[in-house]
Amino acid sequence: MTEYDYWKIFPRMPKKVTIGDITVRDGFQHEEKFISTNAKIFYAQEMILAGAKEIEVTNLGNPEGIPQFKDAEQVLTALRSDAFKKRCERAGVKYDELVITAVTIREPAVDVAIELRKRGVGPDRVLMMVSTDPEHHFANSGTTLTQYWKEAERCIKKARDFGMKMCGTVSTIWGSPITGATRLEDAVEFTKRFLSIGAHDIEHADHDGSASAAQVYRYFSMVLDAMPYTETHLCHLHETKRVASASILAALQAGITRFEGTMGGLGGQPANFLDDCPVRGTGDYYYKDPRYVGLITLEDLIVMIDELGIEHGYNVDRVLWLGAKMEKTIGRRLRSEAVLNGRTLKEGHPEYARPGLSKLIKKLGEKPGTLSPPDWSPQAILPEKYGPLGWK
């Protein structure tokens, strides 16, 4: 007998997930125009009010290389304001349960986070990143892996001493845009390394859309076999080939419970051009068309999870409303299909019904709701040979 219950086929698949929003950081870092501080604050606050419990809002690295985040302190201050805390209280949002994250790739940025923390506006969580490909790692950090592991070990202790969680990101799991194929086993080992030096949680990242569903299922199954506490693991997938939703499903099937995305599928490498001037960023873009390299679209991800019947905690309609506003902020059509075409409504769209069916049913003397001729058998009886075989 075929088993039709999806959760029996994939017993690790969750019925409740956490979906983080990283639009204001990862989404905006790739934009070649400065997104106003007001817009950053607006979307960060509104996404929290729409249901985001984990939100990544800035990068505390040197603004010379990433000037998009020269307003980091202002954004964090707005999220720590009494006015916003009161808005959360009125909306029934438990402010103390929020996790506000800032990226801190190198130690000086961790030191900035600590100083902000001392002043009461710092992040709850910071993030450092290693790549299993040494070339990709060097391009992002300017260090060897040996140097960086030692630096991360120091920074994790520093962060912990000031009450901040440290997320360790493992990148190039399914491939590197610089050197190509990588080994999943290396990423599992890097995950263990991060946890062994005290990381709070791990972001498992496909930063260039290399992942396939089969390999995502294999990798996360390996991870959860070795480290089964699911709150430790976060799935971060980029969308360069329009196949990331299949990989999300594969991650769910493997048992992953934490995901993140960006509104409109924004994001990618830090921009190397801002407004009217070239900037350092991380050098040349890895892609032929850098417009379409962002994360899994947050709006579509939430709709997908919602229609799977998995609990997620978001007000879906409010998220779709924000997604439509984001297109005006960015100034172009973004990648969310749900923003354009909406959700699949169980109640349907009665306004599209062709008038006259009830009158026709009454005229023919049929009963409302009849689905086949009443003189036919209650259930269809298949012939011994049917379909193409029966036509031969």
Whichever domain contains 167, its CATH number is 3.20.20.70
1: in domain: no
End-to-end C-alpha distance for the chain, whole angstroms: 29
Q: Give the max Cα distance, the chain.
A: 83
110: in domain: yes
328: in domain: yes
Q: How far is CA 151 from CA 45, 66, 165, in A?
A: 33, 21, 16
Report pLDDT for 345: 86
Q: How far is CA 274 from CA 67, 257, 347, in A?
A: 8, 36, 46
**Which pTM does this prediction carry?**
0.94
Please report which confidence band the pLDDT of residue 311 belongs to, taking 50, 70 and 90 as the band edges.
very high
Q: What is the C-alpha to C-alpha distance for residues 17 and 193, in angstroms, rounded to an integer? A: 26
Least confident of 124-128, 227-231, 265-269: 265-269
Among residues 44, 218, 159, 272, the alpha carbon closest in space to that of 151 is found at 159
Domain interval for residue 127: 15-341
348: in domain: no
pLDDT digits (tens, 9 = 90+) for 4-37: 999 999 999 999 999 999 999 999 999 999 999 9
351: in domain: no
347: in domain: no
Number of independent structural domains in the chain: 1
245: in domain: yes
Bridge-based pairing of strands 273-274 and 277-278 is: antiparallel
379: in domain: no
Q: Looking at residues 232-260, what average pLDDT do you find? A: 96
Amino acid at 165: K
